[in-house]
Structure 1
């Protein structure tokens, strides 16, 4: 067991139609995730629309989720920005708000060198006593965490995990074989192969709606029951396609949660836009109960 859990969900940030944060929606979502086997709540990450959150909102979300979950799941705060000073401040604010761990994305837009990335990550990790999960998502950041960088950062005592949204399984296995970093699959479509290759768990967007199926998938892999694991992953693929490939994960995850009655509104903040009816219809088809093999 890692300080982050195994069945993590990249939580959406429930909002009212006017764009303000929804406290009832947040409470209902946390209760749903705890009831469906989620043991790690990632707050204020990409799926939580972090670029649109103020510092006060980000800290307040961590505080509210920590209070609502009351120790029943780890609270991992997304605190990464493209500015080291801001990221350090957000890390300290997350610690004060009750976070159990930090999620640190590679600095985006500015495209720093690998040496700059190492300095940035070390500065944030030095700022609090909390364990840190690096977030490698070059499709969004414009720059990847290279293997030598990951190996060097693994030497920091508080940098303990990687959320891998790069999708290079060979590279992930290479880093796992050469470090003690716990890997988490950050691509719902690839959860099974990452788990089979030794990942410690998942950080799932689809898990907003179906953390229980992810829990069953993780358990099946741990038991060595790959036949059941393949069946479970197969039941999740239509959901992964509808949520992650129709338009954008945060948009579609909120649409799914609203369709299921877990949050009251699928509202997102601009520049994101709510799903059109054609996307919602695809989602409804994917949400139909699956028929699993016995």
Structure 2
């Protein structure tokens, strides 16, 4: 794990978006409470309006209101990034400008354009058009399993030369390529794969942007501390203690649905509903998630008592 202070913080979470029971509106009271919970869990970075925050089914107006609520809830000391990556360059530029004008976000998260699968030259042009339109630092998001295209090494190197592009959330799983980017660029690399947080940190990633850390933040922070103290054995034990919970959340369908179910089971959220087409988890999946949450609470108590 890098010892230099990263631009955006170390312990990041891709925050979910709570809705009212009928799913027609954002539940801003629940959102504010969740944001405060995440700070209490030790996060210094919150990413709003990503896919985990159901960005495909929230309007731009809702996205801007979400940023305002989270900022008011957490204050100025927590870094707040705003998702602005879409598969429509003009829309992404307009959204990025609106985010900047709103004044609540410290930077942008730019997922690669999904479904349309542009060439690498098209991807680079798309990204540069967004970052040239605003004066906000940006974290790129490489997740070809969802977007359909990777950010290839040469493209990442070229994009890293832009002063506004300072970080990369890596969910491709190619640690060899990421090691070269850590060596060859000034990009801060973040783990975007919850199951691989420790390996990513071990090769030089500066932090994580996680889904499961809605609940595992304190344990993740302890793992960070162990690495900074060069206590690899303790970091490995902490990593191992969260495996079952990560499996329960990330390997039974969309993580957004599962983590909302977990947060509802703990009483952090009033209900677990997601907007269509996601919906809620099946009853048998919910039961497994509840069991994993209860087991994790026991694990957490062992490490923090």
- Bucket of the pairwise TM-score, normalised by the shorter protein: over 0.9
Q: 2:105 & 2:150 partners in 1: Cα distance?
A: 26
2:210 maps to 1:204:
yes
2:90 maps to 1:85:
yes
3-state SS of the aligned residue for 1:63? helix
Q: Aligned-pair distance for 1:103?
A: 0.2
RMSD: 1.3
Partner of 1:32: 37
Q: Aligned-pair distance for 1:96?
A: 2.1
Partner of 1:275: 281
3-state SS of the aligned residue for 1:183? strand
- Number of residue equivalences: 294
Q: 2:99 & 2:6 partners in 1: Cα distance?
A: 19
List per-residue Cα deviations over 1:88-107 (Å, max 9, x = no partner). 11111112221001000001
Partner of 2:249: 243
2:67 maps to 1:71:
no
List per-residue Cα deviations over 1:157-192 (Å, max 9, x = no partner). 010000001111111111111101000000000000
List per-residue Cα deviations over 1:69-88 (Å, max 9, x = no partner). 11121000001100111101
Q: 2:191 & 2:9 partners in 1: Cα distance?
A: 13
User: 1:90-239 counterparts in 2 under 5 A?
Assistant: 90-97=95-102, 98-239=104-245
Question: Normalising by the residue count of structure 1, what TM-score does the alignment of the two structures yield?
Answer: 0.97
Q: Which moved more, 1:67-76 or 1:190-199?
A: 67-76
Unaligned runs of 5+ in 2: none
Unaligned runs of 5+ in 1: none
Partner of 1:262: 268
2:20 maps to 1:16:
yes
Q: Aligned-pair distance for 1:292?
A: 4.7
Question: Normalising by the residue count of structure 2, what TM-score does the alignment of the two structures yield?
Answer: 0.94
Q: Aligned-pair distance for 1:293?
A: 11
Q: Aligned-pair distance for 1:211?
A: 1.3
Q: 2:26 & 2:199 partners in 1: Cα distance?
A: 36
Q: 2:165 & 2:266 partners in 1: Cα distance?
A: 36
Conserved 8 A contact 1:131-1:158: yes
Q: 1:214 & 1:45 partners in 2: Cα distance?
A: 21
Q: 2:251 & 2:174 partners in 1: Cα distance?
A: 19
Conserved 8 A contact 1:11-1:43: yes
Structure 1 segments, 4+ long, off by >3 Å, are 291-294
3-state SS of the aligned residue for 2:180? helix
Q: Aligned-pair distance for 1:215?
A: 1.2
Q: Which moved more, 1:197-206 or 1:274-283?
A: 274-283
